[in-house]
Amino acid sequence: MRVSILLIVYLLFSNPVETLPNEEYSGVAMDVEAGVGENPQVAFGVEALQMPELPIKIADSAFKPLESCRNRDLQTRLNKQLLGNPVFARLISSRKLCLGLVDLTDWKNPRYASINGKEMMYAASLPKIAVLLAVEDAIYKGEVEETNALREDMNQMIRYSNNSATSRIIDLLGYEKIESVLRDPENQFYEESEGGGLWVGKMYSRSGKTNREPMKNLSHAANVFQASRFYYRLAYGKLVSYDRSADMLEVMKDPALKHKFVHILGQIAPEAELYRKSGSWKSWHSDSILVWDTDRKYILVALTEDPGGEQIVRSLVRPVEKVLKL
């Protein structure tokens, strides 16, 4: 017992858990229109009291970067909840468990917290969201034709995590296109200065040419900060365009695979809309989801490296819901 207590105290004050200087905390409302003051009735009118449809409409000038939404209270509650579990605490200390959480309960004032937020890991199929982003960008710019066959591959890639469909889209786009979209200043989903991020540099097959990311030589990579940013920007219609964001949400809705996060959410929130992409390979397990209904509005991303990773990822949902007071 003494050892467990000392471990938790150590972890609370060590690097893996995110701690934030005061200037990074966010308590300022996210206004829908530029120049709107603090009165939510002025800013949002009658719709302020209603659950908005996704994607949420918000002016570019009023949209806040996720990093500026870091919240002290949410971070403290997340740290306490996860570090109270010895399995989670062990994995966190060894940087083999990473978690990102965006609370959209008050969607005008989003809150963000993370643990090992910028620790990039192999993420198996989760980075297929980067392929989805790249193909939506190519469709928007007229670089590829939006055929029925391509639409079916997009659906198979995300909803069913079909590797052959994903590889066909990668082959259609090319690695250069995927990397350029991820590094685009408008997106910035991969930055060496920020610990890397989302990356796809290999077909989802045994062979073929590769374009591995430069920091850790990973073929399919993510960190929870950038994956959380993907969902956050998607929820507000800020990926490619509002209409293409809406299309991405449609592709990601109602996942066919019912494991990890979806298994638990099917029990505790069966009516919630779920937008999701997960991944597993050997001991690497990941999941990412946007949960949306009257009671639940949040983004959750987890990456882990552990033989029992599927169960570990699954077991994160209930503690996170306690953090959110659900």
Question: Is there a contact between 301 and 310 (Cβ–Cβ < 8 Å)?
Answer: no
Concatenated DSSP letters of 82-135: HHTSHHHHHHHHTT-EEEEEEE-SSTTS-EEEEESTT--EE-TTTTHHHHHHHH
Say how far apart CA 252 and CA 141 lie, in whole Å.
21
HSE of 321, CA atoms in CB hemisphere, 13 A: 14
Q: Which CATH superfamily is domain 2-323 in?
A: DD-peptidase/beta-lactamase superfamily (3.40.710.10)
DSSP assignment letter at 294:
S
Q: pLDDT value at position 51? A: 82
> Which residue(s) pair with 278 in the sheet?
287
Dump pLDDT digits (tens) for 209-261.
Answer: 999 999 999 999 999 999 999 999 999 999 999 999 999 999 999 999 999 99
Query: Which residue would you say has higher pLDDT here, 326 or 216?
Result: 216
Distance of CA 68 to the CA centre of its chain: 16
User: What is the CB neighbour count within 10 angstroms for residue 106?
Assistant: 12
Dump pLDDT digits (tens) for 143-184.
Answer: 999 999 999 999 999 999 999 999 999 999 999 999 999 999
Angle between helices 175-183 and 128-140 (to 10 degrees): 90
Q: pLDDT value at position 21? A: 38
**What would the mean pLDDT of 188-194 be, rounded to a whole number?**
96
Question: Is there a contact between 57 and 237 (Cβ–Cβ < 8 Å)?
Answer: yes
Dump pLDDT digits (tens) for 11-24.
Answer: 444 445 554 433 23
DSSP assignment letter at 315:
T
Mean pLDDT in the chain?
88
The widest CA-to-CA distance across the chain, in whole angstroms, is 63
